[in-house]
């Protein structure tokens, strides 16, 4: 009885797989497929077979150390501590906001200077203006441009000698 049910189930599953889209089939395969050695290892483990086929004891200890469920000890704050912390956070945010505003202001000033230059160029020379308005495609930063670091390199500047 059980055998017939299993067989029927297997036939049903096979038929279902054929009507699924290729994408779903692939996903199903990914979820259910096992590696070639997995079945062998399972069997060996269930029969109490050779231990080198089952998990290495080191894996367990590594897993324990890396993923241990010890909860974080959050710091104990009194009400004054909390007030101090919130004041510091607020002051920090204000400083950052001011810095952002300053940087944006600088960008706007630079942009307006560029706009005025383009307007002046248009008034003076049309040919040069049209050439200046050409926008190159796929412009990239040159590779020799270095990103600033905390401290300089041993050889600070390349003099092309």
Partner 1 sequence: MFRRSLAKGLGRSTRAFSTATTSLVSSKVRAGVLLQRDPIVLQQADGFEATCDKYFEWLEYISAEKFPRDFFFKKGSSAEAKWMELENERASQWYFDPVNKPAFKPLKKVVFGEDTAADEESAVDISRSIELQPRETEADRSGDVKSLERKLDRTLYLLVKSSKGEWELPTGDVAGEEVLLEAARRNLKEICGGKISVWLVGNGPVGHRKAADHTAFYIKGHILAGQAKTDAKLAADFKWATREEMEATVSAEYWQSVKDMLSTV
Give dist(CA 129, CA 119) in Å, integer. Answer: 9
Would you state the structure tokens that stand for residue 108, as one six-digit string?
Answer: 């706007």
Task: Report the nearest approach of partner 1 to the CB of residue 96 (Å).
Answer: 9
- By CB under 8 A, which span of 11-19, 20-28, 33-41, 152-160 interacts with partner 1? 152-160
Please list, residue by residue across 26-47, b when 16 or more beta carbons sit within 10 angstroms of its beta carbon and e when fewer do: eeeeeeeeeeeeeeeeeebeee
**Dist CA 8 CA 28 (whole Å):** 20
Provide the token pair at 132.
């200046």
Examine residue 138 and tell whether it contacts partner 1 (CB under 8 A): no
Query: Applying CB under 8 A, does 122 fall inside the site for partner 1?
Result: yes
Q: With binding defined as CB under 8 A, does residue 95 bind partner 1?
A: yes
For partner 1, the closer CB: 5 or 136? 136
Instruction: Give the rounded distance of the alpha carbon of 49 from its chain centre.
Output: 42
Site for partner 1 in 2-61 (CB under 8 A): none
Binding site for partner 1 (CB under 8 A): 62, 65-66, 68, 70, 72-78, 80-81, 88, 91-92, 95, 102, 106, 109-136, 139, 141-142, 144-146, 148-154, 156-160
């Amino acid at each position: 009885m059980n055998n017939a049910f299993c067989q029927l189930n297997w036939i049903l599953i096979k038929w279902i797989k054929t009507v699924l889209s290729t994408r779903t089939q692939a996903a199903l395969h990914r979820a259910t497929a096992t590696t070639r050695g997995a079945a062998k290892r399972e069997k060996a483990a269930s029969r109490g077979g050779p231990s080198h086929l089952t998990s290495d004891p080191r894996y367990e200890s590594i897993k324990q150390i890396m993923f241990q469920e010890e909860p974080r000890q959050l710091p104990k704050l009194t009400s004054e501590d909390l007030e101090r912390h919130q004041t510091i956070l607020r002051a920090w945010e204000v400083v950052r906001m001011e810095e952002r505003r300053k940087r944006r202001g600088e960008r706007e000033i630079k942009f307006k200077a560029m706009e005025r230059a383009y307007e002046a160029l248009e008034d003076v020379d049309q040919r040069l203006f049209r050439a200046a308005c050409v926008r190159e495609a796929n412009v990239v930063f040159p590779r020799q441009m270095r990103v600033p670091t905390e401290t300089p390199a041993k050889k600070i500047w390349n003099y092309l000698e």
